[in-house]
Structure 1
């Protein structure tokens, strides 16, 4: 499957996006990218050890605390992504997406070895606009 095919499959399949590194600061990509996706119908599940509320949603302290992480979107430095990939696998995620500028051969190996759909160095906003897709209806 090509990266474009994987992107489209993810956008058509997941009604919720678990955002690791979600931010309450509106000027940061880790805030405005999930906000854009929320505006197009996706439910956002923020993960940040600081807790609180982001985009009107309660924040989970860690991936392990998220009941069904599904699609995990990562806003963390590339060197931290192998650990995030391990956590995503352990939490039962089925897809891992590293945002634009974030890539890791080790994270890719961990995710793909566990059967997760995997995308790196791509922005959800760019891909949502390119495909014109909106969130699938929750089952």
Structure 2
């Protein structure tokens, strides 16, 4: 199994996904994809410093502020913000996979994450990958 495939399978088997850049506005990918994940049994932890609550849950200001355990970090922020998010994920013992959505990439940050023992998926949609595998 390739490293990408291992990362995807690990992410899809996870329970808790922290969505960095989760939107409180329906109709945006950063809202629709987490909604899809919730509908398919994932616990979604919203991370958005501009929202107090999303999906009836507390929204955290940053990944570092998340108090609960997280399996996957799903990033909906511009590529130039990925490095900082990856550093916060590396500092957490609970994160297994760092996932960046379509159009979001930072190869240097991804390599740092891999070196720290994290699995990484870049420039792919978690909803699409879930849909492909769940039929």
Q: TM-score, normalised by structure 2?
A: 0.91
Structure 2 partner of 1:78: 79
Is residue 99–residue 122 contact of structure 1 (8 Å, CA) maintained in 2? yes
Structure 2 partner of 1:49: 49
Could you tell me how far 1:52 is from its partner in structure 2? 1.3
Matches for 1:25-104 after TM superposition, within 5 Å: 25-67=25-67, 68-92=69-93, 93-104=95-106
- How well do the aligned residues superpose, as a CA RMSD in angstroms? 1.4
Is residue 66–residue 91 contact of structure 1 (8 Å, CA) maintained in 2? no
Structure 2 partner of 1:131: 133
2:44 and 2:10 mapped to 1: Cα distance?
18
Could you tell me how far 1:121 is from its partner in structure 2? 0.7
Is residue 63–residue 91 contact of structure 1 (8 Å, CA) maintained in 2? no
Could you tell me how far 1:70 is from its partner in structure 2? 2.3
2:76 and 2:32 mapped to 1: Cα distance?
12
* Runs of at least 5 residues in structure 2 that lack an aligned partner in the other structure: none
Q: Residue deviations 1:62-81, cap 9 Å, x none?
A: 11111223210000011110
Is residue 10–residue 97 contact of structure 2 (8 Å, CA) maintained in 1? no
